[in-house]
Amino acid sequence: AKADGKSRWALYDPDRNAKEVARFTLSATMPAALERDEFYVDYQPLVRLEDSTVVGVEALVRWQHPEFGRLAPDRFIELAEETGLIVPLGRWVLRRACEQARRWREEFGESAPFVSVNLAVRQSRDPELVRDVKRILDECALPPNQLQLELTESAIMGTADEPLEALRALSEMGVRIAIDDFGTGYSNLAYLKHLPVHELKIAGSFMEGLRAADEEDAVDVQIVSTLVQLAHALRLGVTAEGVETPAQAKRLHRIGCDTGQGWFFAKPMKPAEIDEMLRR
C-alpha cells in the first residue's frame, strides 16, 4: 500500500477501501486472465445512413471474469493503462479482430465490413506499434484498408511526436485512422488539417439534443452539424456514436452525417450475429 496520508486515510473509508481491493484484485489477475483466454470481443455495426449498409464493425473488449462475471471495459481498461497490461491486451484484441475480419472477408468478399479497433494512449506511444500492426495484418492476410484504428484526441495530440509518426506510417500502409469521441477532448483544429486521419467519430454525448426531430434550435443539433461540416471540409468521413432512436438517425442523415453507430442500429454482438446481419 502507498504510504502517503491520502491513501492511509482511505483505509478508514470502507466503501473506498472495498473499491481499492477490487481494483487491486482485478489488476493483479489480469495477466493470468489474458493467458487463460477470459477476454473476448463483441462487435458493433457501423451503419451507412444513406442505405443502412454495415460498412464496418467496432471491436469492443469484455472480460468474462470467473468470480465477478462479465465485466465491461470501463471496469478494467483504465487499470490496464495504469499497469501497462493494455499493450499486450490491446495487441490481443487487434489480432482477434483481424482474424475475425479475415473470416468475414472470406465469406463476404468485397462487401465485408472493416474492423475498427480502439487504441489506448499507451499503445499509441508504444515503439512496437507499427511493427505489431504490420505483422498481424500479414499473418491474417488482411488488406490494411480492412482495419481502422480509433484513437482519442489525447492519444493523438499529446506531447510526443512518436504517435504522429506511427500514425503516418500506418496511414501510408493503408490502415484507416479515426478520432474517437470527437468533440469531448482537447482538439487543436488547425492541427487536424495535417493529421493522417480518415474519420471523425462524434461522441454519443451530443446525441441527446437530437432526440426530437423538430427541435431545430437545440444546441446539440448545432454542434453536430458543425462537426459534420468540419469533417467534410477536411475531406474526412464522419460517424455519429450513441444513436439510440429513429429520430436521431433521421436527423443525422439530414445533417449529412455519413455513418451511425448505436443501439438504434444494433448493440455490440457476437461474430455469429454479425454474420446473420450481413447475410440479410
Question: What minimum distance in Å lies between the beta carbon of 66 and ligand C2E?
Answer: 20
C-alpha cell of 59? Answer: 471491436
Q: How far apart are CA 215 and CA 209, in angstroms?
A: 8
Tell which one of 26, 54, 77, 170 touches ligand C2E (CB under 6 A): 77
Q: Which of the 8 DSSP states describes residue 74? A: G
Q: Is 242 one of the binding residues for ligand C2E (CB under 6 A)?
A: yes
When CB distances are held under 5 to 8 angstroms depending on the partner's kind, the choice from Ca ion, ligand C2E, none that residue 44 binds is ligand C2E
Q: Is 181 one of the binding residues for Ca ion (CB under 5 A)?
A: yes
Q: Enumerate residues 6+ apart whose C-beta is below 8 A from 64.
A: 38, 39, 40, 70, 71
- Amino acid at position 110, single letter: E
H or E element that contains 112: none
Q: Which residue, 69, 85, 65, is CA-closest to 77?
A: 85
When CB distances are held under 5 to 8 angstroms depending on the partner's kind, the choice from Ca ion, ligand C2E, none that residue 242 binds is ligand C2E
Question: What minimum distance in Å lies between the beta carbon of 120 and ligand C2E?
Answer: 4
Question: What minimum distance in Å lies between the beta carbon of 201 and Ca ion?
Answer: 5
Nearest residue (CB) to ligand C2E, 10 versus 245: 245
Q: Is 219 one of the binding residues for ligand C2E (CB under 6 A)?
A: no
Per CB under 6 A, the segment of 6-14, 69-77, 101-109, 124-132 that binds ligand C2E is: 69-77
Q: Is 44 one of the binding residues for Ca ion (CB under 5 A)?
A: no
Q: Is 244 one of the binding residues for ligand C2E (CB under 6 A)?
A: yes
Q: How many residues bind ligand C2E (CB under 6 A)?
A: 21
Question: What minimum distance in Å lies between the beta carbon of 263 and ligand C2E?
Answer: 4
Nearest residue (CB) to ligand C2E, 231 versus 249: 249
Report the first-to-last Cα separation within the chain, whole angstroms: 55
Per CB under 5 A, the segment of 145-153, 184-192, 205-213, 222-230 that binds Ca ion is: 145-153
Cβ–Cβ under 8 Å, residues 72 and 60? no
Q: Is 180 one of the binding residues for Ca ion (CB under 5 A)?
A: yes
Tell which one of 57, 120, 147, 151 touches ligand C2E (CB under 6 A): 120
Q: Enumerate residues 6+ apart whose C-beta is below 8 A from 29.
A: none
Q: Is 260 one of the binding residues for ligand C2E (CB under 6 A)?
A: no
- H helices then E strands: how many in the chain? 12, 9
Sign of CA dihedral 220, 42, 115, 280: negative
For every residue of 196-234, DSSP letters joined together read ---EEEE-GGGSGGGSSTT-TT-HHHHHHHHHHHHHHHT
Q: Is 270 one of the binding residues for ligand C2E (CB under 6 A)?
A: no
Q: How far apart are CA 3 and CA 220, in angstroms?
A: 46
CA separation, residue 94 to residues 72, 164, 196, 211 (Å): 18, 19, 20, 34
Q: Is 258 one of the binding residues for Ca ion (CB under 5 A)?
A: no
Q: Is 153 one of the binding residues for Ca ion (CB under 5 A)?
A: no
- Which residues of the chain form contacts with ligand C2E (CB under 6 A)? 44, 60-61, 72-74, 77, 90, 93, 118, 120, 180-181, 204, 241-244, 262-263, 268
- Which residues of the chain form contacts with Ca ion (CB under 5 A)? 118, 150, 180-181, 241
